[in-house]
Amino acid sequence: MSLGDTTVVPIDGATSSTLSDRRLVLEMEQVTRVFPSDPPVEALRGVSFQVTQGELLGIVGPSGSGKTTLLHLMGTLDRPTTGTVRVTGFDVATLSDRELSGLRATKIGFVFQQFFLAEHQSVLDNVADGLLYAGVALAQRREEARDALAAVGIVERATARPTQLSGGQRQRVAIARALVGSPAILLADEPTGNLDSTNSQAILDLFEELHQSVGTTIVVITHEREIARRLPRQIEMLDGRIVSDTTVGGLDGSRR
């Protein structure tokens, strides 16, 4: 298995003849999320959008706009109060906790602002842990981890400890960990939040490269408009609602 396989979503092909070439990876239909407190907090108030395979989009909004809640729902870490969330066709509401875990293990990759790398492990093993819960043997995990590190361009640091790396390199390791299972969708939560502008640009360049060369579906959540503006599609959120969903014609058009 290589990263190139990301474009092939392993889903039953019976209905595929009726579909367009690109499949839906993520569907949100009238999704709400209310946190029970006094008074109840409506984090999401009816959000609907779809992400097609191979898309690179940004979800942008100020803090408190519901971005993070949306990320939890997209990543199946949380369930909606009402509405439907489908990830690679699976309706999250119909899946058990174990099945959702399996979905995360095989179909979803996460990248976090804080990297969350284990300091006692080598870079290679950190990346290999991306497949730990997918039922893959250690030797094969490491092999695929090496491929993923090559894809993010730091395979030469495979034996280093995360503490020996710069922030930008650490985020590359975290991205490699998210990519290692060739997930259908990669969710990045403020991936540049802990990085300086140079490293931020480099990470965005990496996302674009993965998007273009491998066709990875990537959702970047950020509060920085500058970052979102670089992406071909931007969903803007405010107060738990989508206020705009803009697709720039081509990737080049998004660049200034």
Partner 1 sequence: MSEVDAGDDATHLALRRIRTSDLSRLASVGLRTRKLRAGLSALGIAIGVAAIVAVLGLSASSESGLLSEINQLGTNLLTVTNGQSLFGTTAELPLNAPGMIGRIGPVSDVQFTGTISNVNVFRSPVIPSIDTNALSVDATSLHLYSAVDSSVARGKFLNAATATEPTCVLGAAAAQRLGIDRVFSGERVWLGNMWFYVVGILKAAPLTPEIDSEVLVGVPAAEKYLGFDGHPSEIYVKVVPTSQTAIVDSVLAATANPENPNEVNVSQPSAALVAQADTQAALNGLFLGLGAVALLVGAVGVANIMVISVLERRSEIGLRRALGATKGNIRLQFLFEAILLSVIGGAVGILLGAASTAVYASSKHWGIVIPPLAWGGGIGASVVIGAVAGLWPALRAARMSPTEALWSV
Choose the stretch contacting partner 1; rule: CB under 8 A; options: 39-47, 69-77, 149-157, 221-229.
69-77
Nearer to partner 1, 172 or 230 (CB): 172
State which of positions 198-217 bind partner 1 (CB under 8 A): none
* Helix intervals (H) in 30-188: 67-74, 97-107, 123-128, 138-152, 167-179
Q: SS3 of 90, please?
A: strand
Provide the total of helices (H) and of strands (E) in the chain, helices listed first.
8, 10
82 in contact with partner 1 (CB under 8 A): no
27 binds partner 1 (CB under 8 A): yes
Binding span for partner 1 by CB under 8 A among 8-16, 154-162, 195-203, 246-254: 8-16
State the nearest-atom distance from the C-beta of 58 to partner 1, in Å: 20
CB-nearer residue toward partner 1: 60 or 71 = 71
Say whether residue 160 binds partner 1 (CB under 8 A).
no
Q: How far is the CB of 229 from partner 1 (least distance, A)?
A: 26
Closest CB to partner 1 among residues 129, 143: 129
Q: How many CB atoms lie within 10 A of CB 38?
A: 5
Amino acid identity, residue 41? Answer: V
Q: Which residues pair with 236 in a beta bridge?
A: 60, 244
The three-state (H, E, C) secondary structure of 162-224, written as one string: HHHCCHHHHHHHHHHHHHCCCCCEEEEECCCCCCCHHHHHHHHHHHHHHHHHHCCCEEEEECC
Phi, psi of 200 (to 5 degrees): -60, -45
* 61, 110, 170, 188: which one binds partner 1 (CB under 8 A): 110
One residue of 21, 38, 63, 137 binding partner 1 per CB under 8 A: 137
Contact 44, 69 (CB under 8 A): yes
* Cβ at position 95, least distance to partner 1 in Å: 6
Please report, as ranges, the residues that interact with partner 1 according to CB under 8 A: 9-12, 14-15, 19, 23-24, 27, 68, 72, 75, 77-78, 86, 88-91, 94-99, 101-106, 110, 112, 114, 116, 118-120, 129-130, 132-135, 137-138, 177
